[in-house]
Amino acid sequence: MHDNNSDRTEISGLGEFGLIDHLTQGIELKNPSSRYGVGDDAAVIDQAGLQTLVSVDLLVEGVHFDLTYTPLKHLGYKAAIVNFSDMAAMNARPTQIVVGIALSNRFSLEAVEAIYAGIRLACETYKVDLVGGDTTSSRAGLFISVTVIGEAKESDICYRKGASENDLLCVSGDLGAAYMGLLLLEREKAVFKANPDMQPDLDGFDYVLQRQLKPEARIDIVDALKNAGIKPTSMIDISDGLASEIKHLCKASKLGCTIYEDKLPIDVMTASVAEEFKMVPSVAALNGGEDYELLFTVKVTDYEKVNKIPGISIIGHFTANIGEEVMITADNQSFDIKAQGWDAIRNTFQKDS
């Protein structure tokens, strides 16, 4: 645990309402749509003619995060970001969140403050208002549920379905890094368990660790596409891994696809860590989760426009062959894309470690 006993304040001293006041003090609402925030029985939101989008993510200690290597501030930040990413995936903008939190008595006031510092930093950075929540106790472990509310013009919203044959498959940023960060953290945890005197050896791995511990939501890509005059024909965020998300898009649009291994965007550090773990980098990109990049399709006629946007890779295209999701490897072999999914590989790794 991160709190050591010397600077530990028991939450019981504050009480539930004292804690809520403490966590939400000084919040200034930034979005005109946020009519009323924390302090009544419900928040009031006025999206003024725009569509309202809602999504929720529930994070459970020991299932979705491991506090032995996840700093609480990062956890709070990530809990908000994964929801902002869902809004980006709809080509929408997050405007408000409500946060439900359940704490066991293992958690001090300082620990909850750290979680909220992360949540509030994410809100500042992405100009989202924290307008409410619920606070309760748990028998064991930490639960964080973040509900996000977003807005978009009806004509801007992108669904997973809607794409056509020949549409170009594009991804933002690079893939596989967050998974490599996780493998490093799990490896250091195993080393530490075996010998608590060992110091973690994570120097020089900043990029992949940051991708795991402090991901970002690609609202900037939503803006860049809008500025370029492009509306994706379908879109999803990459939380479970490229392979699994590609299959979601293909299924939703009733299409097949071809992607090219040598077009997959993979950072050099991701590739070198993958090799250290005796893993082919493209497998990390296909099956590693939690990158929170956007996977989307555009019409072929938008090729020039999308090609000009920095940080977007065109990795393949949709085909009419329903059920055929194929990757052409660097040496020109063709193989079926298998979605192991993020949880599957994570479980495999944990069993092995």
Name beta bridge partners: 151: 52, 93
Q: 21 touches which of Mg ion, ligand ADP, none (CB within 5 to 8 A by kind)?
A: none
Q: 38 touches which of Mg ion, ligand ADP, none (CB within 5 to 8 A by kind)?
A: ligand ADP
Give the tokens for residue 206. 């900043």
Q: Residue 7, class by beta-carbon neighbours within 10 Å (0-12 exposed, 13-18 middle, 19+ buried)?
A: exposed
Alpha-helical regions (H) of 40-176: 72-89, 109-126
Q: 24 touches which of ligand ADP, Mg ion, none (CB within 5 to 8 A by kind)?
A: ligand ADP
23 lines the binding site for ligand ADP (CB under 6 A): yes
- Do 106 and 1 contact (CB within 8 A), yes or no? yes
Q: Using CB under 6 A, which residues numbered 101 to 160 contact ligand ADP?
A: 101, 130, 132-135
DSSP secondary structure string for all residues of 198-251: PPP--TT-HHHHHHHHS----HHHHHHHHHTT---SEEEEESS-HHHHHHHHHH
Q: Binding ligand ADP by CB under 6 A: which of 7, 40, 203, 304?
A: 40
**Based on CB atoms, which residue is closest to ligand ADP, 104 or 227?**
104
Rg (CA), the chain: 21
Q: How far is the CB of 42 from ligand ADP (least distance, A)?
A: 7
Helical axes 177-194 vs 342-352, angle rounded to 10°: 20
Applying CB under 6 A, the span of 36-44, 120-128, 201-209, 259-267 interacting with ligand ADP comes to 36-44
Q: 28 touches which of Mg ion, ligand ADP, none (CB within 5 to 8 A by kind)?
A: none
**In whole angstroms, what is the distance from residue 132 CA to residue 43 CA?**
6
CA neighbor of 176 nearest in space, from 43, 323, 345, 350: 345
- Do 212 and 178 contact (CB within 8 A), yes or no? yes
Q: Using CB under 6 A, which residues numbered 203 to 242 contact ligand ADP?
A: none
Applying CB under 6 A, the span of 17-25, 47-55, 184-192, 209-217 interacting with ligand ADP comes to 17-25
The count of other CB atoms within 10 Å of the CB of residue 301 is 8
Q: Could you list the residues that contact Mg ion (CB under 5 A)?
A: 134
Q: How far is the CB of 98 from ligand ADP (least distance, A)?
A: 6
Q: How far is the CB of 66 from ligand ADP (least distance, A)?
A: 22
Give the tokens for residue 23. 């966590």
**Based on CB atoms, which residue is closest to Mg ion, 100 or 265?**
100
**Based on CB atoms, which residue is closest to ligand ADP, 26 or 310?**
26
Q: How far is the CB of 56 from ligand ADP (least distance, A)?
A: 14
Q: Binding ligand ADP by CB under 6 A: which of 7, 28, 41, 304?
A: 41
Q: 336 touches which of Mg ion, ligand ADP, none (CB within 5 to 8 A by kind)?
A: none
Q: How far is the CB of 12 from ligand ADP (least distance, A)?
A: 16
Name beta bridge partners: 172: 312
Q: How far is the CB of 191 from ligand ADP (least distance, A)?
A: 36
**Based on CB atoms, which residue is closest to ligand ADP, 145 or 287?**
145
Q: Using alpha carbons, list the distances in angstroms from residue 68 to 195, 208, 221, 351.
A: 15, 18, 33, 17
Q: Binding ligand ADP by CB under 6 A: which of 20, 142, 175, 255?
A: 20
**In whole angstroms, what is the distance from residue 57 CA to residue 86 CA?**
10
Q: Using CB under 6 A, which residues numbered 88 to 107 contact ligand ADP?
A: 99, 101
Residues that bind ligand ADP (CB under 6 A): 20, 23-24, 38-41, 99, 101, 130, 132-135
